[in-house]
Amino acid sequence: MDNQAASNRLQVGQNARFPALGSRTLGIAASAVLMAAAANCFLKYVWWTACYSAWTGIPKLAQQWRAAGSRASLNGWSFLALEAASVIVVFSLIRLRVAGRVAASLIITFAGTGLLALAISVIKQGH
């Protein structure tokens, strides 16, 4: 009977780990998706900011530069929101002390978003 109880406890302990593994995998996938979306918004923000800057003051393009300013603002705030969400997800995945978790999640998220922005820009340019 003792062997069977120990075997049951071992199985319960193993089964308890699978949801954690699944949630970690889901968290990693979610953070990657958030970083990719943030990288795309950042690239759009840079594009529309450049358009706004180039078109500002040209009376013939007044409507376009106002629209570019709105689009730049929307993409800039979207980038910040997605980046913050990604930092929160990565923060929840890391098992360190709070200061280490904050530092590591910021570094991982900013580096990941930067690398994804580079990859997206290369892909969109067709090189």
More confident residue, 9 or 46: 46
Using the predicted structure, report yes or no on whether residue 13 has a pLDDT greater than 50.
Answer: no
Q: How many residues does the chain have?
A: 127
pLDDT (average), residues 90-96: 93
Q: What is the pTM of this model?
A: 0.78
**Residues in contact with 2: Cβ distance below 8 Å, sequence separation at least 6, in sequence order:** none
